[in-house]
Structure 1
């Protein structure tokens, strides 16, 4: 039985690592990259095999220009401009403009 493995390009992995570093400075923890989406969250709950996202989360596409920011706390809402800039820097490095 074969399983499909999605492998990010070296440049995308490098750019994603830079984004992870910046998001960590903003208080977010990298959650996962799945189906072309990278998830960053401040809080998770559930089991280690199936954690659930909770509260303040950022989700970005690694394939096209699309993002979602859920800011529950005012502290996170104040960081939205910095979050947006970090994500725009990622997309610019990836050459994604639309």
Structure 2
């Protein structure tokens, strides 16, 4: 929990922008964590009620990014609404 990068900045952005929803998901939290547990791509259906009319920005370790992008596509998100840095696919494919 204490290693979430730019947590204060992200919380401030979400507080000041009603169109920004922010959810932290930790795969291995300490016992005090009360937020979501697991992997972000496992929570997509719980967090969003529709996938065709919004943009998704995915960043993180390459396997998670590729899995999240694939899951978003399965849920109906158009390719042009799924944004990432773009290099993750080739890194995961090489593994």
For the criterion TM > 0.5, the same-fold answer is no
Which has the larger share of strand?
A: 1
Higher helix share: 2
TM-score by length of 2: 0.30
